[in-house]
Chain A
Amino acid sequence: MNLPSAGRRSRTDQAQTAVTDDGSLSPGVDPHQPSGSESPPSAPSDSAPGTGEAAAPVRSPGLRRFLRRFASNRVSVVALGILFLIILAAVFAPWLAPYDPNAIDVRNRLSAPSAVHWLGSDALGRDTFSRILYAGRASLFAAATAVGIAVAVGVPFGLIAGYVGGRVDWILGRAADVLMTFPAIILAIAIIAATGPGLTNAMIALGIVYSPRLFRVVRSATLGVRAETYIEASVSIGTPAHSIIARRILPNILSPLLVQISLMLAAALLAEAALSLLGLGVVPPTPSWGNMLGNAFGDIRSSPFLVWWPGLAIAVTTLCFNLIGDGLRDSLGREVRKGD
């Protein structure tokens, strides 16, 4: 568990620094259109290839440019495709799985991969392929819960701290610092110790512990956008603060936020796997990738492939999230700075 988590840490840190850059980025001088010759009626229609009239499926040229750039990033596109398949497999597990994931068949226990059991069967003769499919539901749902809570807590507070500033910022910042001091997994274990095994409480706890990371990213990006003249323009128009935050700030900090969310999903998935591996997460017999891995340890000598499959599922999914995060980071947030 140590190695991947260390790798994950440095990755998120990288993302954070990249974000600060993005957050304070200023809409620089437009390289296409030197403000020199101005002929209002014709110039933009010449230089902008049919954005207005064509009403393309993609509304914003920024989004279109992002998609084009993301699409040129082969690795991320492949990662996105694989992740999409994994999610589909989890969602449609009841239709795809050849067996009931909890159906015990002691006569065929620990069977090697075969035409009957594609990925073999475990110590109780349960079909590994079916269990992997079902386990994806628990694991992905747990990760989504944790990140969903982190977003719900971290993003609004980050926006408020960055926008209001001053004392509010100071208080929220210190609260985030306190939360940051909790080691995420240890806190989750403590909460499970208090409430009994079960993933929901642990994932809520994990979400709350993760929220300061999003808080910091959102806050620093908001600070950068807050200083832009268009925010002052909105204030001078008389736009209320909540409307400025929702319509002017949030869309402009979306890129660092998305990067952070994708990387955090990877971290949450690993955390769930770790807890379930230790028998503290998903309660058996419900499968999750983590507890399948844990159960397979007992028979690792006789049936090493039992460890492969859940391990592979965890590794591939985490890798996908991270690669997508990298791809997002590389293709987002440069619109204004670089033009194209």
Chain B
Amino acid sequence: MILYLLRRLFLLVFVFIALSILAFSLGYLFPGNTLQNFTGMTDISAELATQLTAEYRLDSGYIQQYIAYLQRIFSGDWGLSFASKQPLLQEIKILLPATLELAAYALLVSFFVGIPLGIIAAIKPEGIVSRIISALAIAGYSIPIFWWALLLIMLFSIGLGWLPTAGRIGVLYEIPHVTGFMLADILLANSQHQAEALLNALRHTLLPTLVLATFPTTVMVRFTRDSMLDVWEQSYIKTARAKGLNRAQVLYRHALRNALLPVIRQIGLQFSTLITLAMITEVIFSWPGIGRWLIDSIYQRNYPAIQAGLLVISTLVISVNMLTEILHTLFNPLARKR
């Protein structure tokens, strides 16, 4: 196990180095002035330019420049945003939690809805309930998320007027930024309108979560169902049945535990898709997260922001990937041997 962890760690370091090289090379690949792309400053005077060139080592070779770039990344100097002239790291610290919050709720929904539905669908694979669940799952799997979001907005916000269409919370409420997670921040803030604020934030969260959760939930349903059916064929299930355990006991003690193992792995594999979908959801619901910020950045040709966004989002996805894989190996001794 320790050897396995060491190998993973080595891989992680390798991947991060490759990622930082990619992010660094973007400063050259993006159109425009390389110095501007790295610093994020648009009008640089001549003496400042010479000073910055020395500081960023743009006059020396690529290797030195890359090392200087790494030093800047680790010391927290990520450059400025073209659009707002604010330090990028500061902006990302405010934006990233909003995205994480949305993605976390969607993942939670997909667990608590997707896995039970998948198990139900696997109990009687040819039954009518199972067929309905599978049909819903394949429909949810195929629907374009932006269109689905628009349909729900048309129905719940404009048609019925039940839910708000944009933002994380009504503009009347002022919640201090502590953790960045809106619901946690409301609970931390000791205001007299806490209950109303919480309700308002929940109403804002409901529709984006529903939209974003659709894809992971259907993936969970399909995957849990397939995995259950697969496990149900194994000989240890037959042995357990032969020993006289009833269906529920076999399901709980043998089938479920083995069937859910690959599902853990699936979270890591689907996480990058989830982030893509979260970015689209954020644009439609004006959710102030990193996805909307990145897509705005491309409209504004805000190259330093895209570079920083690549670093942050990829680091996030790589970490989640690695974490789920390690968890999977921890729970599944069979996977360690390879």
A and B: interacting chains: no
